[in-house]
Amino acid sequence: MEDNLISEEEAAQYDRQIRLWGLDAQKRLRGSRVLFVGLRGLGAEVAKNLILAGVKGLTLLDHEQVTEESRRAQFLIPVDADGQNQAQASLERAQLLNPMVEVKADTDAVESKPDDFFFQFDAVCLTRCSKDLMVRVDQLCASRNIKVFCGDVYGYHGYMFSDLGQEHHYVEEKPKVVKGSNEANDGPEAKKPKVDPSETTMVKKTVSFCSLKAALEVDCTNEKAKNNLKHIPVDYFLLQVLLKFRTDKGHDPQPDSFAEDSQLLLQIRDDVLETMGLSSELLPNTFVSYCFSEMAPVCAVVGGVLGQEIVKALSQRDAPHRNFFFFDGLKGSGVVDYFGSK
């Protein structure tokens, strides 16, 4: 990460953020380079948030072409850009959001990139990628202490995952504890430490994350897991089904093949849950009606959370989510949960 000084122009641009999380955090953010893969609706939301936050550079990587379907929830792509590359079509509007950020478009397929391509970044965010590719990149980046994020939106549902490594250091602002009085004539209550809400102090903390592979391979067959099953979000199992669909078909469920893809989703649901030793009733048949295409409001919610987590991780300010965030648009609620080895 580059140790760049903040210019007067940047200080004015990022004044609100500097007041919110401090100059040191903004300097760390300003020295960070991020790779973002997949420029659909979720990608546009996260790219916008990172550019406005003021990272050093953002590379938008996507080899797919713009279609009417792909730009429905994608506000960075002009309406007349059908047939163009998605990353290239998003570049102009993305750059206009903040001229101080170096925004680049890469039209290659992420699968074609050599290992050392990822080593130039401080954080890598993967969307619309296969499970195998995400696991490969996560393992690759872990060897170089590069932060990895994954996310997707499927209809009313969305998720994000983060792997910040074995030791992620951050600071958190806490109310200052004031020592109690030591006067002999003071009562016992006066001698107890008290929290002064008007004063704060910065506390350094460290947290450990597990790999994506470990998080997706949680054993649900043992007794402890079965007893805790009611505490696991249903969206965790939905994600397993949708990632398997993407692996088998090479794409996500398509609205123009709803009947065919719905039947395949139900079959994959049965296979995945049976392999995990779970009943198919855990994921009712109705789930197939709510996981097609991207919905702009869901992209905005998940993109907001994902963008915020990347900013927090790079700035090393505030406690990160550890390690999954699931959003259910039908319930209008999100949940943070941890899967994998502690």
pLDDT tens per residue across span 16-75: 888 878 888 899 999 999 999 999 999 999 999 999 999 999 999 999 999 998 888 899
Q: Is the pLDDT score of 187 beyond 60?
A: no
Sign of the alpha-carbon torsion through 280, 285, 290, 291: positive
Q: Which residues pair with 174 in a beta bridge?
A: 201
pLDDT band of 8, cuts 50, 70, 90? confident
Q: Is the pLDDT score of 97 beyond 90?
A: yes
**pLDDT value, residue 1:** 45
Q: What is the reported pTM?
A: 0.91
Q: Is the pLDDT score of 143 beyond 90?
A: yes
* First-last CA distance in the chain: 28
**pLDDT value, residue 50:** 98
**pLDDT value, residue 195:** 66
Structural domains of the chain ordered from first start: 8-165+295-337 (3.40.50.720), 168-205 (no CATH), 213-289 (no CATH)
pLDDT-above-90 percentage for the chain:
73
Mean pLDDT along residues 149-178: 92
Query: Which is more confident, 152 or 13?
Result: 152
pLDDT band of 181, cuts 50, 70, 90? low
143 burial type by CB count under 10 A (0-12 exposed, 13-18 middle, 19+ buried): exposed
> Could you count the other beta carbons within 10 Å of the beta carbon of residue 207?
15
